[in-house]
Structure 1
Amino acid sequence: MLQLSHELILLGIGGLILLAAWIPLLLKKLPLSLPIICIGLGLLLSMTPWFQASQTRLTHDPTLEHLNEGIVLIALMGAGLRLDRKFGWQRWRSTWVLLLAVMPLTMLAVFAAAHWGVGLSIAAALLLAAAIAPTDPVLAADVQTGPPTQGEDGETRFGLTSEAGLNDGLAFPFIALAISVQQGAVDWLHWSLVEVASDLALGVLIGWVLGSIAGYLMFRLPSAKLSDTGDGLVAIGVTFCAYALSVLIHGNGFIAVFIAALTIRSTCPDNEFHTAMAEFSGQIERVLMTLVMVLFGWAVGKGLLAPLDWRGALLAVGIVFVIRPAASLVAFARSDTPGLSKRLMGFFGIRGIGTLFYLQYAFNRAQFGERSQIWAIAGTAILLSIVVHGMTATPLMAKADARREERENAEATEPA
């Protein structure tokens, strides 16, 4: 697959690690992001003879599927650990609107456009809709909450972080449904009771139990508490244990990881070890994301988007600029959420590594005749999202943060 020496591979990996650490500092005040730089490097790499591989193999390789899966899981743990707001139905109302209204509306609109507009089969349109609807937990870092124990970051950042933590688990049953439809073996009762209800319930249960045990071992064990080590690597261990245990008993592993993170976060919430775990998770996530984005840029340079026609291009543009924002405006129409927060939560429905994983997962388990077309549409939407959202996240979120500070200052000066 690779025509590179061992030394060149080490040089490339070392360079990516340094890049992942250094570039965010250089881009702090610029309308650019690390993923944009990585995609550009991947495009340049595609023009050289140094990396020789089949573009088809890269988009369907099981190893890369598991790599993307791992990045998403680590991102879910990091997202849960960064949320300072306690769980609650009222306190999390923006989350429920995003999950139970915005995402389903987005999925329905994408399915309809893909099936009747682009001409994809029902299974292919469902797969594209399910894969592209969730907000990516990895590439949305610039619009999410800051480190734990730092206080609230406003409704926009909270809503996008909590949504990204839960929507992967809610979208996954529809990926399984698309595979079943493609294989001609749909059992609707089994899907609704097992793939949806049972899997979600088991994921919540496993996440809560394992998170409670981990929280006790970290913060409340009479002696030799894990938090005394100061080693953020513990978060990765809990992530993989929660996911693997949940999947082994046929639960929803993505939900389990995020619930485990929330449960840990609620245990001794002021302890600095939460920050250590979140920072370590973020570092690992950033390094792996850098690698995947370089490979994605290489695949784009090698023709990933070549099968795209005008209808597919129109759908990809619509996903980023029309469907998700419109769904958000409809869902939040009667909400008392500030207007700017509504618009930003709709606009920043970032697509990325989660979509890559879903498509790899599906294509490695069922034969979709339109897979090149699906890759082209999804890849275009991801590319547009990374470039547009990456360039606008810094100024727009700075505006949102300034508005929030103005409201807080005004409320603080109001007479009692």
Structure 2
Amino acid sequence: MSDVFTWPPDPYILALTGAGLLIALVAWLPLALKKLPLSLPIVCIAIGAALFRFVPMPVVPSPVLHPDFVERFTEFVVIIALMGAGLKLDRVFGWKQWNITWRLLGPTMLLTIAAITALGVWVLGLPLPLAILLGGALAPTDPVLAADVQVGPPKTGEEDEVRFGLTSEAGLNDGLAFPFVNLAVVLAAAAATGEPWAVKWMLHSVLWEIAAAIAIGWLVGRVFGWITFHIPAESKLAQTGDGVIAIAATLITYGVCEIAQCYGFLGVFVAALAIRHAHRSHDFQREMHDFTEQIERIAMMAGLLLFGGALVSGLLAPLGWPEITAAALILLVVRPVAGLIGLKGFRADLSEKLTLAFFGIRGMGSFYYLAYGLNHMEMAGRERLWALMGLVVLLSILMHGLTVTPVMRMLDRGQGRDPDADDAERATATSSS
């Protein structure tokens, strides 16, 4: 602290003040936007664009210039979001109970990957490895930006088929997307070296990495569930009331999975399901979820501020009509049609099927996959791919963000729920019904 008044203020002090304002916005904006056809991500991008457009900044937030940072930052945001998604699922895991999830993961996601790969080759003229990378990166529903179409916190009763389907899909689709991202990397390497790749890819990237991630996630989740809820009362973690333990479980699970060279995203979500299953009715589940969600929202807002800055710093400059056409087809045709095909025969109202098919939101996860893939292969055209990814994510955030509130409120009313009721009212209504 200085006794002499100086102007302009120290940039460090300005950064602290700005961080405080942004965190306050993270807490307040969801309440202010609850009934409006506007989402928190849209506001975050607008703020980031304004900051980087009108305020001098020491760095240019370009994913092309900082690919390693993009990979690591989005990796952190996604694993936190996956823990939160798993903790808030009330439905007990089962093949029949999760039928909608398998439909969205199986035919819907595979068709989406295939269609985007075809667009990459025939519309964008990409080499096959980059087209597959694009398909693997843009197929998953994002666990970070899809909060408005996901289930509510634990035991609140906000778990209809639409919300459950989109939440569980966002949690598990990484286990299906990552093998295709690795396939792109393997094909790019094979094109340069001529080494055989198929058997190694199938045994390691598909069988080992999926099976090991599920096993590690289940084991770590079981251990944390026992320590948290079932050891003697005087020392179990639930007694602390400190939800930070969920972050510990997230980081340990992800770290062990990465050490074992398997899919950490999948492992974290499975660990979250195991912790949730350890004591489904305990109030500490809500404490863990809420703490995780707070960290996720702060990290998400920081990421979207940088995304807004990238948009005004020339991220979309390489776009041409092929990229614009491909982005429109991916959002308006590929995902909705693939979703409806995957849901064919599923017993639900047409409005529910259309909502499930439409709200395949793209975001932080797609940024991570593209950064990971490009960081592990030597291919030209990075600026073009990042421009296309930026356009798809921007359009997805705008399109889904402007429609999510009216659509979900309409669905709630159609199913006899009050969209203006708070969590306690919904939980009471659910328990009594």
Per-residue CA deviations over 1:39-88 (Å, capped at 9, x if unaligned) read: 11121123225114245456634233211101100100000001000001
Q: 2 CA distance for matches of 1:88 and 1:337?
A: 19
Cα distance in 2, alignment partners of residues 179 and 233 from structure 1: 36
What letter matches 1:346 in structure 2?
A: A
* 1:351 corresponds to: 362
| 1:115-126 alignment, distance < 5 Å | 115-126=121-132
Alignment correspondent of 2:223? 213
Compared with structure 1, are the counterparts of its residues 186 and 34 closer, same or farther at alpha carbon in structure 2 (3 Å cutoff)? farther
Match of 2:155 in 1: 149
Distance 1:59 1:177, change over 3 A: farther
Whole-Å separation in 2 of the counterparts to 1:217 and 1:144:
28
Q: Secondary structure at the match of 2:378?
A: coil
For normalisation by structure 1, the TM-score amounts to 0.94
For the aligned residue pairs, the C-alpha RMSD in angstroms reads: 1.6
1:367-386 equivalences under 5 Å are 367-386=378-397
Cα separation, 2, equivalents of 1:297 and 1:267: 40
Partner of residue 17, structure 2: 11
1:202 matched residue in structure 2: 212
- Greater CA drift, 219-228 or 167-176: 167-176
Q: Relative to structure 1, is the Cα distance of residues 85 and 27 closer, same or farther in structure 2, using a 3 angstrom cutoff?
A: same
- In structure 1, what is the equivalent of residue 168 of structure 2? 162
- Report the alpha carbon displacement of residue 195 of structure 1 after superposing the two structures with TM: 0.6
| Contact 1:58–1:299 (8 Å) recurs in 2 | no
One-letter code aligned to 1:281: T
Write the deviation string for residues 278-306 of structure 1: whole angstroms up to 9, x where unpaired: 11110000000000001001101111111
Structure 1 residues 18, 183: CA separation in 2 closer, same or farther (over 3 Å shift)? same
Which residue pairs with 1:256 in the alignment?
267
SS at match of 1:47: helix
Larger mean Cα displacement after TM superposition, 330-339 or 340-349: 330-339
CA contact (8 A) 1:153 1:401 kept: no
What amino acid does structure 2 have at the position aligned with 1:344? T
Equivalent-residue separation in structure 2 for 1:29 and 1:152 (angstroms)? 17
Which of these residues, 29, 32, 37, is aligned with residue 23 of structure 1?
A: 29
Mapping for residues 16-95 of structure 1, pairs under 5 Å? 16-56=22-62, 60-95=66-101
User: Secondary structure of 1:266's match?
Assistant: helix
Q: 2:348 aligns with which of 328, 337, 350?
A: 337
Q: Is the 8 A contact 2:187 2:197 kept in 1?
A: no
**Mind listing any 5+ residue stretches in structure 2 that lack a counterpart?**
1-9, 418-428
Identity between Structure 1 and Structure 2 (%): 45
Paired residues in the alignment total 404
Contact kept in structure 1, 2:217 and 2:268, CA below 8 Å: yes
- Letter of the aligned partner of 2:187 in structure 1? V
**2-side partners of 1:225 and 1:219: how far apart?**
6
Which of 320, 323, 330 is the matching residue for 2:334?
Answer: 323
Partners of 2:269 and 2:146 lie apart in 1 by 16
Can you list the C-alpha shifts for 1:133-188, whole angstroms capped at 9, x where unaligned? 00000000000000101235210000000000001232112111111222225611
Equivalent in 177, 189, 192 of residue 202 of structure 2: 192
Shift of 1:29: 1.0
Cα offsets for 1:390-415 (capped at 9, x unmatched):
11111101111222227xxxxx9xxx
Quick one: distance in 1 between partners of 2:301 and 2:363?
A: 12
- Kindly indicate whether residue 230 of structure 2 is the aligned counterpart of residue 236 of structure 1: no
Corresponding residue number in structure 2 for 1:409: none
| Cα distance between partner residues in 1 of 2:80 and 2:172 | 13
Secondary structure of the residue aligned to 2:173 is: helix
Partner of 2:425: none
- In the alignment, the residues of structure 2 paired with residue 73 and residue 378 of structure 1 have an alpha-carbon distance, to the nearest angstrom, of 20
Q: Secondary structure at the match of 2:361?
A: coil
**One-letter amino acid of the structure 1 residue matched with residue 100 of structure 2:** S
Q: 2:216 is matched by which residue type in structure 1? A: I
**What one-letter code is carried by the residue in structure 2 that aligns with 1:321?**
L
Instruction: Provide closer, same or farther for how the CA distance between residues 364 and 187 of structure 1 changes in structure 2, counting only shifts above 3 A.
Output: same
Look up the equivalent residue of 1:206 and give its one-letter code. I
- The aligned amino acid for 1:74 is I
Distance 1:340 1:102 in 2: 17
The residue that corresponds to 2:426 in the other structure is: none
Aligned residue for 2:144, secondary structure, equals coil
Provide the C-alpha distance between the structure 2 equivalents of 1:120 and 1:197, rounded to a whole number of angstroms: 28
| Cross-structure match for 1:272 | 283
User: Match of 1:405, SS?
Assistant: coil
Tell me by how many angstroms 1:242 deviates: 0.5
Cα distance in structure 1, aligned partners of 2:355 and 2:63: 36
Matched with 2:424 is: none
Q: Which moved more, 1:359-368 or 1:28-37?
A: 359-368
Instruction: String of CA shifts for 1:198-246, please: whole Å, max 9, x gaps.
Output: 1111001001111111000010001311001010100000001001101
The alignment status of 1:183 with 2:189, answered yes or no, reads: yes
Select which of 129, 135, 140 maps to 2:141. 135
Alpha-carbon separation, structure 1, partners of 2:65 and 2:33: 29
Equivalents in 1 of 2:114, 2:40: separation in Å? Answer: 32
Paired position in structure 2 for 1:394 = 405
- Structure 1 residues 107, 197: closer, same or farther in 2, change over 3 A? same
Q: Unaligned 5+ residue runs, structure 1?
A: 407-411
Deviation, 1:194, is 0.8
Question: 201-210 or 359-368: which moved more?
Answer: 359-368
Answer whether contact 2:63 2:386 (CA < 8 A) is retained: no
After TM superposition, where is structure 1 displaced by more than 3 Å over at least 4 residues in a row?
Answer: 54-61
